[in-house]
Structure 1
Amino acid sequence: MANPSSSEIWSVVHDERQSLVDDLKSLETNKWCTPSLCPGWDVHDVLAHLLDSAKTTRLSFLRRMVAAGLDFDRDNAVGITREKATAAEDTLSAFRAVCAHTTTPPAALATRLVEAFVHGEDIRRPLKIGRNYPPVHVAEALAYQVKTSVKIGGGKEPAQGWHLIATDAPFEHGAGPKVYGPAIALLLAVSGRPVGADELTGPGAHSFVTEASEES
């Protein structure tokens, strides 16, 4: 799989941000407190996190991590508190305003794809909003996740011991019992999110989903 250019990655990220805005602009007020797929965060929290991340520069990230004692979870919580408006509609308006930003923390640019796809589903799935993500770019995010430790937000450990094969994109990784499925389902699973019983197939599917959720 060829590595995408930075401009290509940002184009995808910007499209995903705008799509999320479009999906949420008519959301009923009482739906914003729906629990997301990200443990401990509701839909509004995830949007606030995406807003915070879109505004974060390399320098501000380093300053914030020092202030948080190098605790990623603490920094995320501070960021959500800072960006989460009283009215979710205001948070959404602020997110709309930064959709085209290209600021990023000091991490591989593929993390922007991971964030867009995984957090997009963190919000959409509980709200029963469908989205057809670009499979090739989801596979690029997945390729990054399976090489990156859970300690820094990846999915390397959950992916170990399995032969993961995307059915909609050129992605194949690892050795062991085979697990087939759309790239987005594999990405969510290695990222510690629940997936439907019918989304993954193969001799290792059931055990993979169970163990991935325990390791993430």
Structure 2
Amino acid sequence: MRKAAATVWQTVRSVRRRLAADLSDLREGQWRLPSLCPGWDVHDVLAHLVDTARTSRLSFVRDLLAARMDFDRANADGIAREKRQDPQDTDDALKKAVDLTRTPPANLATRLVEAVVHGEDIRRPLGIRGSYPEPAVARALAYQLRTPVSFGGGRERAAGLRLIDRKTGAAWGRGDGVEADAVDLLLAVSGRPVARERFSGTGAGRLAAMPAGRGSGRR
């Protein structure tokens, strides 16, 4: 168990470090680009990542109570708390938070979901190619598939579908087949828009047409 946890945090640290480096020379206007996360721009998502990196079990409960048990309000409060006037200062804050291993009271796989999905929320609108360890993406996807949408997962979005990672052949679920890179499957079940041409199979159109949602931002 300890070895599995150590692997998760090693991945999270690596993903945070690479993302901070990718954003170190953005132009002013790029920070205001809409992210894949509905209602949040690139700078908002970065501030959210800083906030979640600093969130412990105790502070999560405290912040949720302060937000009157409203997850979206708690997230908005966290963004406001960590979003600096100069976006590069927010990026510096992520660099300082790289090695933190704090977590809210949730399955540790949520840290992988946060790292990968929010990493792509930022990178794809900017045209930056991300790279993530395949086992980490697979674990994040498996977690999202067994977690209801109301809890930040994507179980309902994948109901009646068999998702297949075209690189490894790993598969999840039963029903109409959808083949794609695992990271695209993860984004789609997490409520992110993914181009239809990234999917193949009889269930491809259905998955690509799923309505967007904040998904992993709800923790």
Global fold match (TM > 0.5): yes
CA shift digits 1:122-181 (9 cap, x unpaired): 000000000122122101100000000111100111011101111123631111110001
Relative to 1, partners in 2 of residues 1:24 and 1:152: Cα closer, same or farther, differing over 3 Å?
A: same
CA shift digits 1:72-112 (9 cap, x unpaired): 10000000001000000111111110011000111000000
State the Cα distance separating 1:48 from its structure 2 match: 0.2
Relative to 1, partners in 2 of residues 1:173 and 1:15: Cα closer, same or farther, differing over 3 Å?
A: same
Whole-angstrom distance in 2 between the partners of 1:50 and 1:85:
13
- Please give the root-mean-square deviation of Cα atoms over the aligned residues, in Å: 1.8
User: Which residue matches 1:97?
Assistant: 96
State the Cα distance separating 1:214 from its structure 2 match: 7.9
Relative to 1, partners in 2 of residues 1:34 and 1:212: Cα closer, same or farther, differing over 3 Å?
A: closer
Whole-angstrom distance in 2 between the partners of 1:214 and 1:86:
27
Whole-angstrom distance in 2 between the partners of 1:186 and 1:49:
23
Whole-angstrom distance in 1 between the partners of 2:106 and 2:98:
19
Asked whether the 8 Å contact 2:195–2:208 carries over to 1, the reply is no
Calculate percent identity across the aligned residue pairs.
50
User: Which residue matches 1:111?
Assistant: 110
User: Which residue matches 1:5?
Assistant: 4
User: Which residue matches 2:151?
Assistant: 152
Question: Relative contact order (C-alpha < 8 Å, sep 6+): which is higher?
Answer: 2
State the Cα distance separating 1:67 from its structure 2 match: 1.1
Whole-angstrom distance in 2 between the partners of 1:189 and 1:98:
28
Whole-angstrom distance in 2 between the partners of 1:144 and 1:106:
15
CA shift digits 1:27-70 (9 cap, x unpaired): 11121001000011000000000000000010010111111111
Asked whether the 8 Å contact 2:145–2:158 carries over to 1, the reply is yes
Map 1:177-216; keep pairs closer than 5 Å.
Answer: 177-211=176-210, 213=212
Whole-angstrom distance in 2 between the partners of 1:213 and 1:37:
9
Whole-angstrom distance in 1 between the partners of 2:44 and 2:179:
32
Asked whether the 8 Å contact 2:12–2:112 carries over to 1, the reply is yes
Structure 2: which amino acid aligns with 1:25?
Answer: S
Structure 2: which amino acid aligns with 1:160?
Answer: A
User: Which residue matches 1:139?
Assistant: 138
CA shift digits 1:172-195 (9 cap, x unpaired): 111111000111000000001011
What 5-or-longer segments of structure 2 have no aligned partner? none
User: Comparing 3-12 with 80-89, which one deviates more in the overlay?
Assistant: 3-12
Whole-angstrom distance in 1 between the partners of 2:77 and 2:165:
36
User: Which residue matches 2:60?
Assistant: 61
Whole-angstrom distance in 1 between the partners of 2:2 and 2:144:
14
Count of residues in Structure 1 that have an aligned counterpart in Structure 2:
215
Relative to 1, partners in 2 of residues 1:189 and 1:130: Cα closer, same or farther, differing over 3 Å?
A: same
State the Cα distance separating 1:213 from its structure 2 match: 3.9
Task: Verify: 1:26 aligned to 2:25, yes or no.
Answer: yes
Asked whether the 8 Å contact 1:157–1:215 carries over to 2, the reply is no
Asked whether the 8 Å contact 1:68–1:75 carries over to 2, the reply is yes
Task: Verify: 1:52 aligned to 2:51, yes or no.
Answer: yes
Relative to 1, partners in 2 of residues 1:120 and 1:215: Cα closer, same or farther, differing over 3 Å?
A: closer
Whole-angstrom distance in 1 between the partners of 2:116 and 2:135:
12
